């Protein structure tokens, strides 16, 4: 199995390192051809408007949309959740989203950089041990569609959600040594 990590901007190298530590073969995705032959894809955190602009510049919007609709597993974290969402609130007028999961996200929903935080989060699908969630300028998931399952919440708001083969989190699982979210993704 081969997992791609969108490597335009943001925390892609940390996701790659976490996946490789689990024995996964990882390819960095920068152009459409890099998606060929992949079994799964990670869309990492970063600055969501920058990722959107770069994806458009490198003609990745349509290929990423097709990949996400193919039924192959996709994990989006923080800005990746925004890019994969069906709707972006408070985004730039030219900011694109892929419509891969029926959620509406609000950029920087918890506030600016100084409002970033860390919190222990219960994720029942991962067992009783809480997950240490690192939220950096985290988006808020404002709406979830009927096909979306909420796997965890922060402040009573969805923080980790899944619909079919698409899973997104508002936090950064790659910033902690706990590999359970990456393991869950690889098992999808």
Instruction: Put the strands of the sheet holding 40-43 in their side by side order.
Output: 25-29, 2-6, 40-43, 73-77, 166-169, 157-163, 149-154
**Most distant CA pair in the chain, distance:** 43
Query: What's the CATH number where 41 sits?
Result: 3.40.50.880
What's the whole-model pTM score?
0.94
Provide the annotated active-site residues: 78, 172, 174
Domain ranges, residue 100 = 2-187
Q: In this predicted model, what pLDDT tens digit does every residue of 41-86 receive, in sequence order?
A: 999 998 888 898 999 999 999 999 999 999 999 999 999 999 999 9
């Amino acid at each position: 199995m081969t997992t791609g990590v969108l490597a335009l901007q943001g925390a892609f190298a940390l996701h790659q390192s976490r996946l490789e530590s689990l024995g996964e073969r990882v390819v960095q995705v920068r152009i459409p051809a890099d998606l060929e032959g992949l079994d799964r894809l990670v869309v990492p955190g970063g600055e969501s408007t920058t990722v959107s602009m770069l994806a458009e510049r490198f003609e990745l919007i349509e290929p990423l949309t097709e990949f996400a609709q193919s039924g192959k597993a996709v994990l989006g974290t923080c800005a990746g959740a925004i890019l994969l969402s069906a709707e972006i609130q408070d985004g730039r007028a030219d900011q694109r989203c892929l419509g891969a999961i029926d959620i509406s996200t609000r950029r920087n929903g918890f506030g600016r950089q100084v409002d970033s935080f860390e919190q222990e989060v219960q994720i029942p699908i991962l067992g009783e041990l809480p997950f240490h969630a690192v939220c950096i300028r985290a988006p808020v998931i404002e709406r979830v569609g009927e096909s979306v399952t909420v796997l965890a919440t922060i402040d009573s708001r969805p923080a980790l959600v899944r619909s079919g083969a698409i899973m997104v989190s508002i936090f950064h699982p790659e910033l902690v040594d706990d590999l359970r979210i990456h393991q869950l993704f690889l098992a999808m």
